[in-house]
Structure 1
Amino acid sequence: MNNSKKWASVILTAAMTTTMIAGCSGGEKAPAAGGKESSKGAEAKVNATGFPIVNEPVNLTFLAAKAPTTANNWNETMIWQEYAKMTNIKVNFQLIGFDAFTEKRNLALTSGDYPDAIYLARMSTDDLMKYGSQGVLIKLNDLIDKHAPNFKKLMEQYPEVKKAITMADGNIYSFPNMLSPDFTSVRMGGKLWIKKEWLEALKMEEPKTTEDFYNYLKAVKSTDLNKNGKADEIPLGATKLKDLVSHFKGFFGLGTRGSSHQMVDMDPNTNGLRFVPTDERYKELLTYFNKLYSEGLIDKDILPNEKDQNKFFAKGAEGVYGAVRMTSPFTLMKQTGFIGTNALQGPKGDKLYSEYRPAVSGPGAFVITNKNKNPEATVRWMDYFFSEEGNKMFFMGFKDKSYVEKPDGNVDYTDEILKNPQGLTMEQAVVKYVTWPGGGYPGIVRQKYFKGAESMQESLDTAKKVEANLPKEIWPAFSFTEKENERYLALNNDFTTYMDEMTAKFITGAAPLSDWDKYVATIKKMGLDEYMKIYQAAYERYKK
């Protein structure tokens, strides 16, 4: 079986399994990954600066993760069609939905049938170390130094960026998803929104504590606030129950080093590493959510449909939620009248907004494989999106088509996107031109050009509310040595699976909280001491 057929079989398998593949436009056959068909003459000469990147046309195949809110076929969007003309590099994007992407990506990488690069690769430091040490992913250290001036400049400006993407073996295997360090709103990610008009109707003030929030949810459940004569108000909704739990961690004194480390933080009482899921404060957090759930204050559909984001958005568009945890009810549900909450004060006085991401939100957003015959050209292709102009094109699209330039030099979307005549949301309208909706993409998110939910005034106002309660230190994802990595991955997967299962059971009552000690004992038996020893070693390397 030749490369083209083998790679096509991987994509076909993914399509049959997940029904979430967006294929090539116009029935075009996918070129072979990294072969002559892919590059039209291997190792094309790369121009040092400017466009085109190569004089002789190059074809590349990229595997990419597809968010539910982005375009269904990137090969037909304006940005990739126009960028192909600018660069003389045509990329054929093979899309796999988020839910199935990790499995299908790993299947491709382990089988040896993979493309030239993976865009929106969603790779953790563990993945990067694993596939980098195997030689499947190429080292980018020298390539970045010679062919990525825009990204190199950012690494020099923000040393934490280089630190976050340099693996334990000293190598860089990826370009990251980078959030501008001064863009607080985007680093917050999902926010907790509350319906202001319902607060006013209930004659309640904006919640300041977790108890105030509980009282508001109770009032929503017992009042016909949408005045339709039905008891259809849902006090609290989110795409996933674990997102709610993570959002509230800081209010219970947990998550002291930001959101990249969901299970380990720094205990302020001991100044040592702490395993969050076995801490007594985590039990208090679960007890709080058990109360909310048992009293019907959390959307009952949140568990069986936790992966069905579209159902959550559709329900939200009906205006039934009193509070939601999400990026924005404005852009995704077309709901007005919501305001972002402050950091809530928990039962022991904690008021930490712990769901705060590091500048490198995703270390492995773009990787180049050893099948790629044109790595220099591919690096230059990617580097453009870390520049000001590339950043503007990636988020805004094209002047007088998807955006207009104002007299003061600022840019904004056209009325087609902001006031769509077909009634589309902003993100639904913009995907005709660009593919950023859904997040996780390689490049940098600057407030100047990013016009998504996090740049809306309501989001910026919410960011100002919590600034005083952000963690003083934010850890990026740690990297592990090749020896540590295999054992760490096994333990981390076991802990995550068990913790997610038991968190849901404790909250819904499927397991009583009186079983807490058994739960803690089980985690210890699973290898907690070994896990924390590995984590300590990674932390020591990070400090150095």
Structure 2
Amino acid sequence: MNNKKSVLLLASVMVASGALLAACRANTEEKNAAPTAGASAGAQPDKVNADGMPIVKNPINLEFFAPKRFAASDWNNILLWQEYEKLTNVKVKWNTVDRDNLVEKRNILLAGGDYPDALYGNRLTPSDLMMYGEQGVFVKLNDLIDKYAPNFKKLLDQYPDVKKAITMPDGNIYSFPTVTDPEFKSMLTGAFMWYKPDWLEKTGLPEPQTTDDFYRFLKAIKEKDPNTIPLGGGPGWDYLGKYLQGAWGLGNRGTTHPYVDVDPATNELRFIPADDRYKEMLQYTNKLYNEGLIDKDFFTANADQIIAKGSKGVYAVIADYNPEAVYSNLKGYVGAAALKGPHGDRIYSYIGSPVGSPGQFVITKKNKYPEATVRWVDYLYSDEGSKMFFMGFKDKTYVEKPDGTIDYTDEIKHNPKGLTQDQAVSQYLVWPGVGYPGILKQNYFKGAEGMPASVEAAKKVEPAFIKERWAPFNYTKEETERMTVLRADIETYVKEMTTKFITGGASFDEWSKYTDTLKKMGLSEYMKIYKAGYERYKKN
């Protein structure tokens, strides 16, 4: 979280992964048993210190592939990794790519066999982990974690859902995930609906408590000031949709599974985008769009364009991460309440599992130092490592206050060059806007989700939090191969049609045609595989 997310990332991953299946099968030489501790060429576990720093007595060199958010930052020269190299004796050569091109570039590397020692922050899906793990491209980590990852091993014991999420059906662990401290509620939610309290005064309306109230509020804003866009942010459906869906009782198992939850009427798995209540939610949003209450660029602009536009103060209500962190010069926004919908539902389903993306760090079979590499990433799960990763270094990126708390320097919080906090942080650290392995703790995360307004926004909606939140499910090799193809078709089609229904590109008279098309694409098989993953998840 932290940061803007590309709302099309999931679809891109699935399309790219599906296209690679044939190529990966052709590379039969890759299908060797994955190496374990000490098994890779040149590994010298006796020269890896069991604990403390440095990790190795004599310096070693590794190469990692990672996404980055801001083009100006060169990870090979950034303060965080320079200082961490001094601490560990592990020198990492960073091969980075803009996050928008991550999936394409990564899949080219994997398909061609030209991959580095580790993939960092790549948000690999369980499907990717299973496929490349079984082929031997990714190292099995079970024994390595037991021997060289005490911090991460402690987390696995403390939070069983983490272990369930990263253990593949073959019993192996191939990756390190992002983990959020379960008490860090504003991180589990991430984005909210934001507004300035003075708009309540200007419109003379109380804070919206229902979907009808919300519509009237946006409409009153437009009537009061035609030059203000009532609702913006995003971009796209992701943040707005997840905020609204709880008012229709949708998404009742959390955001980790955006398309599937449990139908309370039958207690069976439900494909959310084919449900009649999803249709009702889209009809409601279509009304907002048709009446000019949603930014006309909401579904076409990219994140940078939305940030530039929103920083001008043109949005009255923002569906996004904390505007104070994401946009320039926007202050004073507060989180909105959970809305009650037309059927009486009032759940806040925009909240995920403590397990973020499971595939944030993998070690490839080309790595000559897997033991040292595991120790390198394990430090990021410690209290000290988390503090270093997110806050940096005393008097350089953060200062200690008299009460013992820490905060970013004024240069970062109030950048003299007019940079947003995320942009200013990225001159020294690497977390804004991309994935990473490690643990997110409220004490050390001062990004959008950790700001006081975000913490208060989470408290406001906490009474409506859903009770059960699923972690990611995992699938067998055969299920993975089939599910990759099905997802590429079904989920891409859902995204396309959701936008069309909202913007008027498709009439709601076509709803039956839409659901029939989903069936023809193999929705029943999709749900059958999903159920198999769900049953396995419950059993584990």
Tell me if TM exceeds 0.5: yes
Equivalent in the alignment of 1:391:
386
1:107-134: CA deviation from partner (whole Å, max 9, x where unpaired): 1111111111011011111111111111
| 2:488 equivalent among 490, 493, 509 | 493
Distance in structure 1 (CA, Å) of the matches to 2:435 and 2:464: 25
Q: Counterpart amino acid of 2:241?
A: V
* Matches of 2:129 and 2:320, distance apart in 1: 29
Report the Cα distance in structure 2 between the residues aligned to 1:259 and 1:457, rounded to whole angstroms.
Answer: 23
CA deviation digits over 1:237-283, x for unaligned, max 9? 12332212232111111101000111110111111101111110010
Aligned to 2:146: 145
Indicate the residue corresponding to 1:30 in structure 2: none
Answer yes or no: is the 8 Å Cα contact 1:40–1:57 preserved in 2: no
Deviations along 1:488-528, one digit per CA (max 9) or x if unpaired, are 11111111111011111111111100110111111111111
Tell me if the contact between 2:53 and 2:87 (Cα under 8 Å) persists in the aligned partners.
yes
CA-CA distance at 1:91 after TM superposition? 0.8
**What per-residue deviation string (whole Å, max 9, x for no partner) do you get for residues 63-109 of structure 1?**
101235x8621112111001011111111111112221112111111
**CA distances 1:143-186 after superposition (whole Å, capped 9, x unpaired):** 01100000111111111111111111111110001111111000
Matched, 1:179 2:184: no
Contact 2:235 2:306 in 1 (8 A): no
Report how many residues are paired.
Answer: 498
| Partners of 2:56 and 2:90 within 8 A in 1 | yes
In 1, Cα distance between equivalents of 2:425 and 2:299: 31
1:249 aligned to 2:233? no
1:222 & 1:48 partners in 2: Cα distance?
66
Within a 5 Å distance, the mapping from 1:5-24 to structure 2 comes to: none
Asked if residue 518 in structure 1 is aligned to residue 494 in structure 2, the reply is: no
Query: Equivalent residue for 1:193?
Result: 194
**Structure 1 stretches of 5 or more lacking a match?**
1-38, 225-230
One-letter amino acid matched to 1:497:
T
The residue number in structure 1 matching 2:207 is 206
Q: Is the 8 A contact 1:234 1:298 kept in 2?
A: yes
Distance 1:374 1:447, change over 3 A: same
1:12 alignment counterpart: none
Please tell me the residue identity of whatever aligns with 1:210: T
After superposition, the C-alpha distances for 1:201-258 in whole angstroms (9 at most, x for unaligned) are 111111111111111111222222xxxxxx4311111233221223211111110100
Residues in 1 aligned to 2:304 and 2:374: alpha-carbon distance in whole angstroms: 35
Candidates 411, 414, 420, aligned match of 2:415? 420
CA contact (8 A) 2:236 2:300 kept: no
Query: Which residue of structure 1 aligns with residue 442 of structure 2?
Result: 447
Per the alignment, in what secondary structure is the counterpart of residue 224 of structure 2? coil
1:323 aligns with 2:317: yes
Classify the secondary structure of the residue corresponding to 1:222: helix
* Paired residues of 2:41 and 2:368 also in contact (CA < 8 A): no
Whether the aligned pair in 2 keeps the contact of 1:417 and 1:426 (CA below 8 Å) is yes
Alignment partners' CA distance in 2, 1:98 and 1:496: 21
Moved more, 55-64 or 472-481: 55-64
Structure 2 residue runs of 5 or longer lacking an equivalent are 1-39
1:143 counterpart letter in structure 2: L
Match status 1:269 vs 2:270: no
**Maintained 8 Å contact 1:252/1:350:** yes
> Which residue number corresponds to residue 66 of structure 1?
68
Residue 299 (structure 1) aligned with residue 295 (structure 2): yes
Which residue number corresponds to residue 530 of structure 1?
Answer: 525
Contact 1:155 1:162 (C-alpha < 8 Å) held by counterparts? yes
Task: Map 1:355-394 onto structure 2 (within 5 A).
Answer: 355-394=350-389
The separation in 1 between residues aligned to 2:483 and 2:181, in whole angstroms, is 30
Separation of aligned partners in 2, 1:529 and 1:299: 36
SS where residue 458 of structure 2 aligns? helix
Moved more, 125-134 or 412-421: 412-421
Question: Which residue does the alignment assign to 2:336?
Answer: 341
* Cα distance in 2 for residues equivalent to 1:223 and 1:483: 57
Give the one of 261, 279, 282 matched to 1:283: 279
The CA deviation at 1:407 is 3.5
Residue 46 of structure 1: aligned partner: 48
Q: Which residue of 2 aligns with 1:406?
A: 401
**Structure 1 position 359, deviation (Å):** 0.5
Q: Is the 8 A contact 1:64 1:119 kept in 2?
A: yes
SS in 2 for 1:324: strand
Could you tell me whether the CA contact under 8 Å between 1:71 and 1:77 is conserved in 2?
A: no
Paired residue secondary structure (2:358) = strand
Deviation at 1:460, TM superposition (A): 0.9
- Mean Cα deviation higher: 117-126 or 41-50: 41-50
Shift of 1:426: 2.0
| CA distance in 2: counterparts of 1:387 and 1:409, whole angstroms | 19
SS in 2 for 1:95: strand
1:42, distance to aligned residue in structure 2 (A): 5.7
8 Å CA contact 2:322–2:453 kept in 1: the answer is: no
Q: Give the whole-Å Cα distance in 2 for the aligned partners of 1:131 and 1:394.
A: 28
CA 1:40–1:267: 2 relative to 1, 3 Å: closer
Kept after mapping to 1: 8 A contact 2:237/2:299: no
The amino acid of 1:48's aligned partner reads A
Q: What amino acid is the match of 2:140?
A: K
**Given the two structures, how large is their TM-score scaled by the length of structure 2?**
0.90
Distance in 1 between the 2:244 and 2:94 partners?
38
**How far does residue 304 in structure 1 lie from its aligned partner after superposition?**
2.0
Moved more, 232-241 or 158-167: 232-241
Residue in 1 aligned with 2:468? 473
Cα distance per residue 1:340-386 (max 9 Å; x no partner): 00111111111111111100111111111111110000000000010
CA distance in structure 2 between the aligned counterparts of 1:322 and 1:526, rounded to whole angstroms: 40
More relative contact order in 1 or in 2 (CA 8 Å, sep 6+)? 2
AA at the equivalent of 1:53: I
Question: 2:537 — aligned with what?
Answer: 542
Displacement of 1:439: 4.3
State the alpha-carbon separation in 2 of the partners of residues 42 and 527 from structure 1. Answer: 46
Give the deviation of 1:477 after TM superposition. 1.1
Verify: 1:88 aligned to 2:89, yes or no: yes
Query: 189-198 vs 281-290, which deviates more?
Result: 189-198
State the alpha-carbon separation in 1 of the partners of residues 461 and 167 from structure 2.
31
Query: Does the 8 Å contact 1:71/1:435 carry over to 2?
Result: no
Distance 2:358 2:233 in 1: 26
What is residue 218 of structure 1 aligned with on the other side? 219
1:408-447 per-position Cα deviation (integer Å, ceiling 9, x unaligned): 3321122222232333222222222211111421100000
